[in-house]
C-alpha cells in the first residue's frame, strides 16, 4: 500500500524533444492517496498507458520524479516498486496449474510453502477460483484467466499498487459487468491502491472513487464521478463524460451576463468571466435543459428514443442543443423554448471553466 506522488513528470519517446508534439506526457503533477480506487480515463493516444508505465516502472520518465510514500522510486525497477498489473489480454503461465500460477510470485520471493498455501487458498476463494485450483491455467475461459492475473497481484501481501490496463477488453460483454462488480467489491474489501486505465467512461465511473481525465498528454481534471458530471472543468470533460455529452455553445459575455443567440442566459459563473479575447463558450448538460414557456427559441430537429427517456435534438442559430425528456413528456413540434438550469450552466474560456 502506498501513496503515489508524481512530481513535475514529463515524458517523451523521442530522443531530443523540441516541440510540444514531441512530448507524450506534458508536465503534470498528481497525488494518489493510499488505498484509493482511481481511473485514468481518456481517448486513445491521450497518454494514459504512458502514465501507467511510468508509475509501474516499465518506463523511466524523461523529466520529473515518482514517489511512493515519499520515497523516490524513479530509478527503481518494477519488481522493487512492488507492482502488480492486469493486462488487456490474460497473461498467465500456460504450463502451470491455477494454483502454481497464484503461488509463483510468492515462491519467487522465497516465502515458505505453508504460508504460500494459505495465501493462495485465501485469494482463490476471494476470486471464486478455488474449484479450479488444480486445473491447468490454459484451460480456463478468458474471464477466469484474467482473474488469475488479478490473483497473482493480490497474492502478494505487500503489493503497493495494482494496475489495470483495459482489462475487460477480451471479456464477453455479459461477463464484463460481473467482473466489474467483482473488482469494485474487491477494492472495498482489501483497500489496496488500484489504478484502472480505460477509454470507457462507464468502466471508469463505476469503478473509481476518483477519475483522472486525460487528453493529449495532459491531465484535464481529477475528481469524483459526481464532480466530473456536475462541474466539468473543461469542455473536453463535458464532451467525453455523459451520454450524450455536454452541450457546448458559443456565447458572449456582456455586463457580467452570458448571451447566447441574442438571448441572455443565467449561469453560475458568468460574472467572473473576463473575456480578454478568449473563446467564450457555454456548457450545459442535456440533463439540465428543459422545455419552458419562454426562453431560448429553438427548432425541434430530431427525437431519438433511448428507452426510459428520449434525446431531443434542437437547433438555434445553427448550433445544436440536445436535451433529455422523460418518455411521459410530450415533445412539441416545430418550435419550442428551452431553459437552462442556472446552477448547472457554466461559462468556459478557451475550454476551461471560469472560476
Contact residues: other proteins, CB under 8 A: 13, 15, 21, 23-25, 44-50, 53, 56-60, 62, 75-79, 83-85, 87-89, 91, 93-96, 104-105, 108-109, 138, 149, 152-153, 216-217
Q: How far is the CB of 286 from other proteins (least distance, A)?
A: 28
Query: 230 forms bridges with which residues in the sheet?
Result: none
DSSP secondary structure, 158-175, as one string? T--EEEEESTTTTS-HHH
Residue 104 cell numbers, joined: 509463483
Which of 152, 234 has the CB closer to other proteins? 152
Q: Judge contact between 336 and 300, C-beta under 8 A.
A: yes
Burial 221-260 (b: 16+ CB within 10 A, else e): bbbebeebbebbbbbbbbbbbbebbbbbbebebeeeebbb
Rounded Cα distance between 27 and 20, Å, is 11
Cβ at position 106, least distance to other proteins in Å: 9
Q: What is the DSSP letter of 80?
A: H
Closer by beta carbon to other proteins, 111 or else 300: 111
Nearer to other proteins, 138 or 320 (CB): 138
- Judged by CB, which is closer to other proteins: 50, or 314? 50
- For the bound state, the minimum distance from the C-beta of residue 311 to other proteins, rounded and expressed in Å, comes to 27
Q: Are 345 and 266 in contact (CB under 8 A)?
A: yes
Q: Cβ 231 to other proteins, closest distance in Å?
A: 27
Of 204, 161, 153, nearest in space to 40 by CA: 204
By beta-carbon proximity to other proteins, the closer residue of 109 and 279 is 109
Cα–Cα dist 74/77, whole Å? 8
* CA proximity to 153, closest of 172, 167, 136: 167
Q: How far is the CB of 205 from other proteins (least distance, A)?
A: 22
> Toward other proteins, which CB reaches closer, 92 or 282?
92
Cell of 176: 464484463
Residue reference for cell 419562454? 294
Closest to other proteins by CB, 83 vs 241, is 83
The nearest distance, CB 53 to other proteins, in angstroms, is: 5
Minimum separation from the CB atom of position 111 to other proteins (A): 11
- The rounded Cα 311 to chain-centroid distance in angstroms is 25
Amino acid at each position: 500500500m502506498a501513496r503515489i506522488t508524481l512530481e513535475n513528470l514529463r515524458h517523451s519517446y523521442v530522443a531530443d524533444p523540441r516541440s510540444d508534439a514531441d512530448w507524450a506526457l506534458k508536465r503534470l503533477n498528481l497525488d494518489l492517496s493510499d488505498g484509493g480506487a482511481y481511473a485514468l480515463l481518456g481517448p486513445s493516444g491521450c497518454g494514459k498507458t504512458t502514465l501507467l508505465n511510468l508509475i509501474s516502472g516499465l518506463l523511466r520518465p524523461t523529466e520529473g520524479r515518482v514517489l511512493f510514500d515519499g520515497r523516490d522510486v524513479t530509478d527503481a525497477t518494477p519488481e522493487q516498486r512492488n507492482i502488480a498489473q492486469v493486462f488487456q489480454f490474460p497473461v498467465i503461465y500456460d504450463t502451470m496449474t491455477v494454483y502454481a500460477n497464484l503461488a509463483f510470485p510468492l515462491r519467487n520471493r522465497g516465502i515458505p510453502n505453508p504460508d504460500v498455501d494459505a495465501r493462495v487458498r485465501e485469494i482463490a476463494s476471494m476470486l471464486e477460483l478455488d474449484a479450479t485450483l488444480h486445473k491447468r491455467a490454459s484451460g480456463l475461459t478468458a474471464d477466469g484467466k484474467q482473474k488469475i492475473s488479478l490473483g497473482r497481484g493480490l497474492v502478494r501481501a505487500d503489493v503497493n499498487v495494482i494496475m489495470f490496463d483495459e482489462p475487460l477488453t477480451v471479456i464477453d460483454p455479459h461477463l464484463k459487468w460481473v467482473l466489474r462488480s467483482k473488482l469494485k467489491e474487491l477494492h472495498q474489501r482489501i483497500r489496496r491502491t488500484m489504478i484502472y486505465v480505460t477509454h470507457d467512461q462507464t468502466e471508469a465511473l463505476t469503478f473509481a472513487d476518483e477519475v483522472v481525465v486525460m487528453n493529449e498528454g495532459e491531465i484535464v481534471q481529477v475528481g469524483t464521478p459526481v464532480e466530473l458530471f456536475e462541474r466539468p472543468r473543461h469542455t473536453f470533460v463535458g464532451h467525453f463524460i455523459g451520454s450524450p455529452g455536454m452541450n457546448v455553445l458559443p456565447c458572449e459575455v456582456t455586463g457580467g451576463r452570458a448571451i447566447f443567440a441574442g438571448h441572455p442566459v443565467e449561469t453560475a459563473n458568468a460574472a467572473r468571466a473576463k473575456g480578454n479575447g478568449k473563446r467564450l463558450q457555454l456548457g450545459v448538460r442535456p440533463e439540465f435543459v428543459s422545455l419552458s414557456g419562454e426562453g431560448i427559441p429553438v427548432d425541434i430537429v430530431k427525437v431519438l428514443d433511448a428507452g426510459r427517456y428520449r434525446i431531443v435534438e434542437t437547433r438555434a442559430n445553427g448550433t445544436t442543443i440536445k436535451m433529455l425528456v422523460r418518455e411521459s413528456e410530450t415533445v412539441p413540434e416545430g418550435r419550442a423554448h428551452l431553459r437552462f438550469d442556472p446552477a448547472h450552466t457554466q461559462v468556459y474560456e478557451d475550454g476551461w471553466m471560469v472560476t
